[in-house]
A and B are shown apart, each in its own frame.
Chain A
Amino acid sequence: EDKVVQSPLSLVVHEGDTVTLNCSYEVTNFRSLLWYKQEKKAPTFLFMLTSSGIEKKSGRLSSILDKKELFSILNITATQTGDSAVYLCAVTTFNKFYFGSGTKLNVKP
């Protein structure tokens, strides 16, 4: 059965800390892995990863994919209170997106 597992389920840090969020997957016909940020509304896109070992960066956020070990990480450096959200990982196959249950990040001032 195809599945996406994220860890930890929740995380509390203080502003300025660095966090690493994990996403592991087991799917057939893997095509890509995507990270989304979800606040009190619909998910917003962060990254799409298709190749192993190539880091994608956007400001304080970065992500990398390991297709051999079937996982990805999302790093957030110098966290801010505005980073508080649920971070979702999704894996695509031919026609489907499989989402993990998310990591709830709470950044305290």
Chain B
Amino acid sequence: DTGVSQNPRHKITKRGQNVTFRCDPISEHNRLYWYRQTLGQGPEFLTYFQNEAQLEKSRLLSDRFSAERPKGSFSTLEIQRTEQGDSAMYLCASSLSGGGGGAYNEQFFGPGTRLTVL
């Protein structure tokens, strides 16, 4: 399967614990995005990488959240000192760079990691 993969698919943790999620994008895609989605809402943008550079970070991303993409391939999203409000589906997506006109190519989404904080 050459699509976007995410691990783990489900994570249950106790409040205060740290968790780390991994995303493996489509191999030739240089852009990687993280989103959070709660029930009944569309995905909320968290952060974005172009290759290994983190180019944008949402205000939603508190200091407890950190993301890395050290070699420009896979990415990790870490949440420290989890809170019950962090319970959500965390989606990763990847895409190729946009064309010269600035239009962005479609994103391909992974299956997501569902986090439950007890």
What residues of chain A have their CB less than 8 Å away from a CB belonging to chain B? 4, 6, 31-32, 34, 41-45, 48, 50, 88, 90, 92, 94-102
Asked if B74 is an interface residue, CB under 8 A from chain A, the answer is: no
Asked if B21 is an interface residue, CB under 8 A from chain A, the answer is: no
Asked if B100 is an interface residue, CB under 8 A from chain A, the answer is: no
Residues B43 and A99 in contact, CB atoms below 8 Å apart: yes
Least CB distance from B108 to A in Å reads 7
Nearest-neighbor residue (CB-CB) of A96 within chain B: B45
Least CB distance from A52 to B in Å reads 13
Residues B42 and A95 in contact, CB atoms below 8 Å apart: no
Interface of B is mostly: loop
Nearest-neighbor residue (CB-CB) of B106 within chain A: A45
Residues B44 and A42 in contact, CB atoms below 8 Å apart: no
Counting chain B CB atoms within 10 Å of each CB, which of A4, A48, A96, A102 scores highest?
A: A96
* Contact indicator per residue, chain B 41-70, by CB within 8 Å of chain A (1) or not (0): 111110010000001101000000000000
For the A-B complex with A6-B42, A31-B98, A32-B103 known, give 8 more contacts whose Cβ atoms are closer than 8 Å: A42-B111, A90-B43, A97-B43, A97-B104, A99-B45, A100-B42, A101-B42, A102-B40
Asked if B110 is an interface residue, CB under 8 A from chain A, the answer is: yes
A42 to B55, CA, bound (A): 24
Query: Would you give 11 A-B contacts (Cβ < 8 Å), ordered by A?
Result: A6-B42, A31-B103, A31-B104, A32-B103, A42-B93, A88-B43, A95-B55, A99-B42, A99-B45, A101-B40, A102-B42
On whether A92 and B104 interact (CB within 8 A), knowing A43-B43, A101-B42, the answer reads yes
